[in-house]
Amino acid sequence: MAKNTLSSRFRKVDIDEFDENKFVDDHDEAADQQGPDAVEIDRDMMAALHIALRNPPINSKNPAIKERAQAAVLRVLTSFKSSDIEPAVKSLDKNGVDLLMKYIYKGFERPTENSSAILLQWHEKAFAVGGLGSIVRVMTARKTV
């Protein structure tokens, strides 16, 4: 047997890191994107939604910031009454609807007992306004929320 079958350290090397043709995204500095301020959220629901959707941590590479933002938005979304969802979505502009879709899909990734049903209701209303285009933009965006 050949000598080099003894060591299998080569299996732990990530060959893609050394690929010279590897595509690297443009770096946009994260600056102050800290995600929405969790404290202000408890009051008026409509305002809460707008606050939650402000300052999305899109350029940030810090997973903690993204988690916090996602948790804050999810809290707002689940505390809405079903009948209030439609006017809330109507009050958002185009970019807001796209951003809301991104958070909704992020929420789908980690379902809890109640979240999926509420998120599906939000999804239906957001889809009525944003259409298939907003979903396509969630799928194709390089910078996720």
Q: How far is the CB of 113 from other proteins (least distance, A)?
A: 21
CB of 131 to other proteins, least distance (A): 3
**Rounded least distance, CB 135 to other proteins, Å:** 9
Decide: 99 and 66 in contact? Cβ < 8 Å.
Answer: no
Q: In the complex with other proteins, which residue's Cβ is closer, 10 or 23?
A: 23
User: Do the Cβ atoms of 97 and 89 come closer than 8 Å?
Assistant: yes
Instruction: Catalog residues that contact other proteins under the rule CB under 8 A.
Output: 21, 23, 94, 98, 130-134, 136-137, 140-143
**Residue among 43 and 142 whose Cβ is closer to other proteins:** 142
Residue 98: CB minimum distance to other proteins, A: 7
Of 31 and 39, which CB lies nearer to other proteins in the complex structure?
Answer: 31
- Please say which residue, 7 or 140, places its beta carbon nearer to other proteins: 140
Q: b or e along 13-52 (b: 16 or more beta carbons within 10 Å of the residue's beta carbon)?
A: eeeeeeeeeeeeeeeeeeeebebbeeeebeeeeeebbbbb
Between CA 122 and CA 98 the distance in angstroms is 12
